Structure 1
Amino acid sequence: MKIVFIGGGNMATAMLGGLLQQGYAANDLYVVEPDAGKRAQLASEFGVTTLAADVPLPATDVAILAVKPQQLAEVARNQAGALAGRLVISIAAGIRMADLDRWLGGRARLVRVMPNTPALVRAGVSGAWLGPQADIADREVASRILQSVGQVVWVEQEQQIDAITAISGSGPAYVFHFMESLVAAARELGFDATTARQLAYGTFDGAIKLAMASDDEVGTLREKVTSKGGTTAAALARMNEAGVQAGIVAGAHAACARAAELADELGK
């Protein structure tokens, strides 16, 4: 299977590395990238064929649109003829399937994907939706590609991609914000920066590993740590007074609403 990436940014780079780790041949992977320095870097690091933006696309089975959302309409219109008949996977945030299909001339085999930044370390969670012209074989191909950088969750309705954006797409920033706050608390309690990071990062890493290994819900795991009248109970009570959980839930709803707004704006 031959794959061409249109755009050679961070997410495309992560997927290239993941595909090569899975055993894909470098000579089956192509990257279209306008920046000459970036092309040279990708060719040197991965051994793939890189192409300037003004040359014809190579014949491939799959095209992955990995350009910035603001650039996608122009790229899709310019490449509509060349992309006809291929499975097209879009990882551009906020672009609805109908708009992309319109830019491509209609009736394209499309998969819309919302990845997240942990894909850079092969620990991503991607939300994906299969377009109406694509079939189960296309879904399987897309799954294999996306699994090169982590997990994939398929949704049944396209609007659920906005919810994926709010949870896993934007979610790393929520986690980093909590980690940042825990580091700040450690510094206020007298630890130096290195020790504060070790304590906070290690706690997150261990808690995630415990949650992933346990059959218990996270609420149950929280309860097991929280002794009545103890230190954890005091901390959680104060956090509840400050509305921490409610704020996180409200933030996710705000992200979901903004994702829909951006899709309206970018699809014009």
Structure 2
Amino acid sequence: MKLLIVGGGRMGEALLGGIIAAGEDPAQLAVAEVSAARRADLQTAHPGVTVVETPVPADGALLAVKPGYVAETARAAADVGCERILSVAAGITTSAIEAAIGRPLPVVRAMPNTPALIGAGAAAISPGAHAGEEDLAWATALLEAVGVVVRVPEASLDAVTGLSGSGPAYVFLVAEAMADAGVLAGLPRDIAETLAFQTLLGSARLLTEGDAGPAALKAAVTSPGGTTAAGLRELERHSVRAAFLDAVTAAAERSRELGG
């Protein structure tokens, strides 16, 4: 078996689906999931994948479980013969995972985010003490199946958690607020949501597909004394920029606490 995914929840299944879509043979993949109902769903949705209750031997294991279960699942995967570990749990350090395993084994830590569910994720990875370039390339290939991947020092992963890991929730809050504002201004709910959500999508594409940065793009929309300038003045008056700074900082600190 090439890969064992431990944890068949939303993130685990998103990664599984992306890896299959990228061309991996389902017969080379296994998912360990404790919930019988969830195992049944996975077997139906992904024919050919081995779905089991407990870990099985594989070249590598991807841990997609909650932080509190990382140590025991890492140990279980190592005990059955998995040769390297990739963890996507928030806050749990590579040194903690290595200590739980109890012997030298390559460990890579990653922080993906939920847009991986549609192949548009953003992830950062960091190596543990025994992980080399081949292990990082392996982890990168897995996560690139569902989005973009960057490498950062492990000390930066809590900041990544606060920014891109938690970031989708901030964007969803903005989307909800923009749609509500459209309704307040007199638009029907369905039209307000269509316009708000498409505005976010189009703006994101301009940022990622164009050459201009956010400041230049904002300036291009903002005429002197115009409607956008009036709206931006209100956002600044309500300290929206500072609120985002505080949100990312608070989420990063919580990630540090989880790993403490």
CA 1:78 to 1:139, structure 2 compared with 1: closer, same or farther past 3 Å? closer
Q: Percent identity?
A: 39
The number of aligned residues is: 259
Other structure's SS at 2:197 match: helix
| Paired residues of 1:73 and 1:100 also in contact (CA < 8 A) | yes
1:122-133 superposed matches below 5 A: 122-133=119-130
Identify the residue that residue 50 of structure 1 maps to in structure 2: 51
Paired amino acid for 2:129: P
CA 1:207 to 1:180, structure 2 compared with 1: closer, same or farther past 3 Å? same
Give 1:222 deviation, angstroms.
0.2
Quote the Cα distance in structure 2 between the aligned partners of 1:112 and 1:205: 29
Identify the residue that residue 182 of structure 1 maps to in structure 2: 178
Identify the residue that residue 36 of structure 2 maps to in structure 1: 36
Is there any run of 5+ residues in structure 2 with no aligned partner, and where? none
Quote the Cα distance in structure 2 between the aligned partners of 1:129 and 1:102: 17
Quote the Cα distance in structure 1 between the aligned partners of 2:218 and 2:144: 30
Other structure's SS at 2:86 match: strand
Give 1:83 deviation, angstroms.
4.2
1:61 aligns with 2:62: no
Other structure's SS at 1:144 match: helix
| Paired residues of 1:63 and 1:83 also in contact (CA < 8 A) | no
1:94 aligns with 2:91: yes
Other structure's SS at 1:197 match: helix
Give 1:5 deviation, angstroms.
0.8
Quote the Cα distance in structure 1 between the aligned partners of 2:66 and 2:257: 17
Name which of 164, 171, 174 aligns with 2:167.
Answer: 171
- Using the TM superposition, name which of 215-224 and 72-81 deviates more: 72-81
Name which of 199, 204, 207 aligns with 1:203.
Answer: 199
Give 1:220 deviation, angstroms.
0.5
Give 1:79 deviation, angstroms.
4.2
Identify the residue that residue 216 of structure 1 maps to in structure 2: 212
Quote the Cα distance in structure 2 between the aligned partners of 1:31 and 1:78: 13
Q: Find runs of 4+ consecutive structure 1 residues off by over 6 angstroms.
A: none
Identify the residue that residue 153 of structure 1 maps to in structure 2: 150
| Paired residues of 1:80 and 1:103 also in contact (CA < 8 A) | no
Give 1:59 deviation, angstroms.
2.8
1:238-249 superposed matches below 5 A: 238-249=234-245
CA 1:13 to 1:25, structure 2 compared with 1: closer, same or farther past 3 Å? same
What is the TM-score normalised by the length of structure 2?
Answer: 0.96
Other structure's SS at 1:59 match: coil
Identify the residue that residue 112 of structure 1 maps to in structure 2: 109
What is the TM-score normalised by the length of structure 1?
Answer: 0.93
